Amino acid sequence: MITSDQFNDYILLDAGDKEKLESWKGIILRRPDPMAIWPKTRPELWEKADAEYHRSSSGGGRWEFHHSLPESWNVSYRDLLFKVSPTGFKHTGLFPEQCANWDLIHRMVSKRKDAKVLNLFAYTGAATMVASKAGAVEVVHVDASKGINEWAKENMRLSHLEDHTIRYIVDDSLKFTAREIRRGHKYDGIIMDPPSYGRGPDNELFRFEDKINPLIENCLELLSDDPLFFIINTYTTGYSPTVMYNTLKSHVTLKGLKGTVESDEIGIPVSDSEYVLPCGQTTRWYR
């Protein structure tokens, strides 16, 4: 399993009984997590939660606030700042397990002074900001949600990257990559975080099992002649790291790319214990 300990403002205090207890710069949130099926190990901590999310039997859910909290606050990773906020869908605007990939992106982009990076399904842009801060001359940030792109712009301003070249695009990722191929554009690094199921801005249907291979093909076509990395994050159940390794390895081999292909779970260590909470998986090719 791939983990990282570089995200000092985030601590996973405990996990168990299908929940997780997290400290986000001292604010403690209690959220559902279907992977944590083992018993809680530190039950005395759970009553300290400032807010907890309750799922609804009809879908969605709501936050219960035990203490007055700001609508949003900021957490830091390296020398970047990100806005977090409890949303109606239980998320906070940041996936801390992705710190393991941010470390790789930072290391790869730092090698190349003229790197161009594409971030697909880019959400609030943590990977975008990492790549830009590491020295990418241009980052193209693509997400289907206009509101999420606005959140990403807030993260850009918080991290003082306004003078960096970051393009924010509201589009369907498969359509966008096809157009980029026709335009002849190339990227040295590509990150994507495709959902299990989703809709584009014009109601385009995305099903992981139907679209993942065409999307990988498009992305490999967009890589430059001397690329640095290609990262695929997945949270879709039923597709193991072995399946994703085989999928990316076959495409990379057909393309003739040399380098490392790896696929593994990513996870967050539970504080003061030997446990790690699995949080999806990542499949990566890099030089």
CATH of the domain at 19: 2.60.40.1180
Which residues, listed in sequence order, are joined to residue 10 by a DSSP beta bridge? Answer: 24
Tell me the residue type at 176: F
| Residue bearing tokens 């998320």 | 91
Cβ 251 vs Cβ 210: under 8 Å: no
Q: What angle do CA 190, 287, 258 make, to 5 degrees?
A: 100
Q: Are 67 and 102 part of one and the same domain?
A: no
Cβ 6 vs Cβ 80: under 8 Å: no
| CATH number of residue 234's parent domain | 3.40.50.150
253 part of a folded domain = yes
29 part of a folded domain = yes
State the sign of the Cα–Cα–Cα–Cα dihedral 264, 265, 266, 267: negative
State the sign of the Cα–Cα–Cα–Cα dihedral 13, 14, 15, 19: negative
Query: Which pLDDT belongs to residue 4?
Result: 79
Q: Are 66 and 104 part of one and the same domain?
A: no
4 part of a folded domain = no
Q: Are 194 and 274 part of one and the same domain?
A: yes
Q: Are 111 and 218 part of one and the same domain?
A: yes
Q: What is the pTM of this model?
A: 0.96
Q: Are 110 and 234 part of one and the same domain?
A: yes
> Can you give the three-state secondary structure of the chain, one letter per residue?
CECCCCCCCEEEEEEECCEEEEEECCEEEEEECCCCCCCCCCHHHHHHCCEEEEECCCCCEEEEECCCCCCCEEEEECCEEEEECCCCCCCCCCCHHHHHHHHHHHHHHCCCCCCEEEEECCCCCHHHHHHHHHCCCEEEEEECCHHHHHHHHHHHHHCCCCCCCEEEEECCHHHHHHHHHHHCCCECEEEECCCCEEECCCCCEEEHHHHHHHHHHHHHHHECCCCCEEEEEECCCCCCHHHHHHHHHHHHHHHCCCCEEEEEEEEEECCCCCCEEEEEEEEEEEC
**Tokens matching residue 274:** 């030997």
87 part of a folded domain = no
194 part of a folded domain = yes
85 part of a folded domain = no
Tell me the residue range of the domain where 63 lies.
10-77
Q: Are 54 and 141 part of one and the same domain?
A: no
Q: Are 222 and 118 part of one and the same domain?
A: yes
Q: Are 214 and 243 part of one and the same domain?
A: yes
**Last residue within a domain, chosen from 27, 48, 77:** 77
Query: Which pLDDT belongs to residue 162?
Result: 98
CB atoms within 10 A of CB 76: 15
Cβ 27 vs Cβ 69: under 8 Å: yes
Gap between the Cα atoms of 76 and 68, Å rounded: 22
Cβ 278 vs Cβ 33: under 8 Å: no
Q: Are 66 and 112 part of one and the same domain?
A: no
Cβ 265 vs Cβ 280: under 8 Å: yes
Q: Are 33 and 105 part of one and the same domain?
A: no
Gap between the Cα atoms of 210 and 193, Å rounded: 15
**Per-residue model confidence as pLDDT tens for the chain (287 residues):** 999 777 889 999 999 999 999 999 999 999 999 999 999 999 999 999 999 999 987 778 999 999 999 999 999 999 999 999 999 889 999 999 999 999 999 999 999 989 999 999 999 999 999 999 999 999 999 999 999 999 999 999 999 999 999 999 999 999 999 999 999 999 999 999 999 989 898 888 889 999 999 999 999 999 999 999 999 999 998 899 999 999 999 999 999 999 999 999 999 999 999 999 999 999 999 99
| Residue bearing tokens 């099992």 | 209
Q: Are 130 and 22 part of one and the same domain?
A: no
**Last residue within a domain, chosen from 51, 77, 103:** 77
How many domains, in total, are found in the chain? 2
89 part of a folded domain = no
83 part of a folded domain = no
Phi and psi at residue 194, in whole multiples of 5°? -70, 140
Q: Are 165 and 233 part of one and the same domain?
A: yes
